[in-house]
Amino acid sequence: MTGSPAPAHRSGFTRRRALTTALGAGAAVLGTGALSGCGSALASDDSTVRLWDLFQGADGGLLNDMVSAARPDMPGTKIERTVLEWGTPYYTKLAMASAGGRGPDVAATHLSRLAGYAPTGLIDPWDLDLLAEFGVRKSDFAEAVWSRTLFEGKTYAIPLDTHPFIVFFDPKPTKKAGLLKADGTLDTDAFSSPDRFLDAGRELAKATGKQGIAYGYVNDTAQGWRLFFGLYRQTGGTFKLPEGGPAEVDLDRMTEVIAFMTKLTDGKVNPKGLNYESAVAAFANKQTAMILNGEWELNTFKEANKDVSAAPFPTVFGTPAVYADAHSFVLPHRDNPDPEHRRRTHQAVAALLKAGQIWATAGHIPAYEPITRTKKYADLLPQAHYKAAAEDVVLDPAAWFVGAGSDFQNSVSQVLQQALLNGLAPDRAARAMVRRINTFLSKPSPA
């Protein structure tokens, strides 16, 4: 039931413990002043579901539109948004507020962050029977995403979307290079091995008369890891992070992936030494025919080229796998949650999921699959061309120090940059990554 007490192992629930969790994932202490407004989260009327999220700009506007569209499915309920700064400040404040029982009714998080919150009791499980009353069931989500919502057999997150690392391409030079199918979609078979991928990049460069594939990673805190981990999971290599370490990985396959990445960024296929912004600009300005990036840049590219298309990241190493994360909804901890208000919160989240077609216009793949099965979504291009990525997504390993905006992603991306930009040998880079991973594993989990 929604009002059932928390499991006994969560009884050691303290502010210090929550801060340790947040700091372990790379967060900075904001101080007690950062919580000055948190108490108000519990002080409004019972018809209001209070949501904390990190969606600003265009995404923030779309979420407002979703709230409006959801109203018929949540009669008598209103959603009150509080928008906080993305990354470290958001996750620190959420942890501190949840530890003190002063968090919002519901909060948006990256699914990759769940391992830092569920085991420590910072969030409460969802009532799946209650969600089913409002038309949302486990069967409505891809298994690859749903499997990451679980801790000790209970569901601690409800996915809003999948946002994968994909390929965008300009159809004109891509067709000239002979890399499109008859229906205009990307011929991913032409990218189905490291050599084929590089050959395709050279053909794209010939077709543009400039460069083939843009990829920005220099001084970026995540792009190196995103490309590496998606490719590594395609090799089928083991990547386990047991508490206390050491990491269980395949160094040969790590080396193979890094070697491919260095060839991809040697200046022959990809303009050498691009940062995130310069890669986006190179593709938007048609200096390259393709870019490796997240679907979240879709509208940037559509503004520059209305014909831009996209595809799931090609299977280069044999096993389909697409790196991704997922925005999700979680229930900040309450010692004694009010059953009726929790019910209202479940209804509100179900209503938002059903408004997912609006969210899809930003490029995100709605996690609630009844949306992606509609003709309206099939007509939404190029989103419909890469929706299959949701079936093969791989998220960050489930460890308390890993996830979006974490020091972990930044640390391993720095090593990859040394290989891609500064000539560190792939085998040495692989060993250096493992040493850094083992350093994180040597730190005790706060759970």
> What are the pLDDT digits (tens) for 302-323?
999 999 999 999 999 999 999 9
Q: Are 230 and 165 in contact (CB under 8 A)?
A: yes
240 Rama class: left (phi>0) / alpha (psi -120 to 50) / beta: beta
Does 80 have pLDDT greater than 80? Answer: yes
Q: Which percentage of the chain shows pLDDT scores above 90?
A: 84
Does 88 have pLDDT greater than 90? Answer: no
Does 139 have pLDDT greater than 80? Answer: yes
Q: Smallest Cα–Cα separation from 319: which of 144, 147, 138?
A: 144
Tell me the average pLDDT of the chain.
90
Q: What phi and psi values does residue 445 have, to the nearest 5 degrees?
A: -70, 140
Work out the pLDDT band at 445, boundaries 50, 70, 90.
confident
Residue 86's pLDDT is 84
Work out the pLDDT band at 40, boundaries 50, 70, 90.
very low
Q: Smallest Cα–Cα separation from 123: which of 141, 138, 101, 144?
A: 101
Average of per-residue pLDDT across 354-367: 98
Q: Name the DSSP class of 402.
A: -
Residue 100's pLDDT is 87
- 359-362 LR contacts (CB < 8 Å, sep 24+): 359/62, 359/63, 359/66, 359/160, 359/161, 361/62, 362/58, 362/59, 362/62, 362/296, 362/298, 362/299
Work out the pLDDT band at 9, boundaries 50, 70, 90.
very low
Work out the pLDDT band at 34, boundaries 50, 70, 90.
very low
Does 5 have pLDDT greater than 70? Answer: no
Q: Smallest Cα–Cα separation from 145: which of 431, 433, 387?
A: 387
Query: CA–CA separation, 284 vs 295, rounded Å?
Result: 14
Q: Smallest Cα–Cα separation from 26: which of 329, 315, 405?
A: 405
Work out the pLDDT band at 62, boundaries 50, 70, 90.
very high
> What are the pLDDT digits (tens) for 363-412?
999 999 999 999 999 999 999 999 999 999 999 999 999 999 899 999 99
Does 78 have pLDDT greater than 60? Answer: yes
Does 25 have pLDDT greater than 90? Answer: no
Average of per-residue pLDDT across 157-164: 98
> What are the pLDDT digits (tens) for 189-214?
999 999 999 999 999 999 999 999 99
Does 111 have pLDDT greater than 70? Answer: yes
Residue 46's pLDDT is 86
Q: Are 157 and 114 in contact (CB under 8 A)?
A: yes
Average of per-residue pLDDT across 13-21: 37
> What are the pLDDT digits (tens) for 252-307?
999 999 999 999 999 988 888 999 999 999 999 999 999 999 999 999 999 999 99
Work out the pLDDT band at 38, boundaries 50, 70, 90.
very low
Does 222 have pLDDT greater than 70? Answer: yes
Work out the pLDDT band at 87, boundaries 50, 70, 90.
confident
Residue 28's pLDDT is 29
Residue 370's pLDDT is 98
Residue 45's pLDDT is 66
Average of per-residue pLDDT across 23-43: 34
The residues near 168 (Cβ < 8 Å, ≥ 6 apart) are 283, 290, 291, 293, 297, 298, 301, 308, 309, 310
Query: CA–CA separation, 117 vs 446, rounded Å?
Result: 10
Query: CA–CA separation, 406 vs 239, rounded Å?
Result: 18
CB atoms within 10 A of CB 353: 28
pTM of the predicted model as reported, rounded to 2 decimal places? 0.89
Residue 317's pLDDT is 98
User: Roughly how many angstroms between the first and final C-alpha of the chain, as a whole number?
Assistant: 24
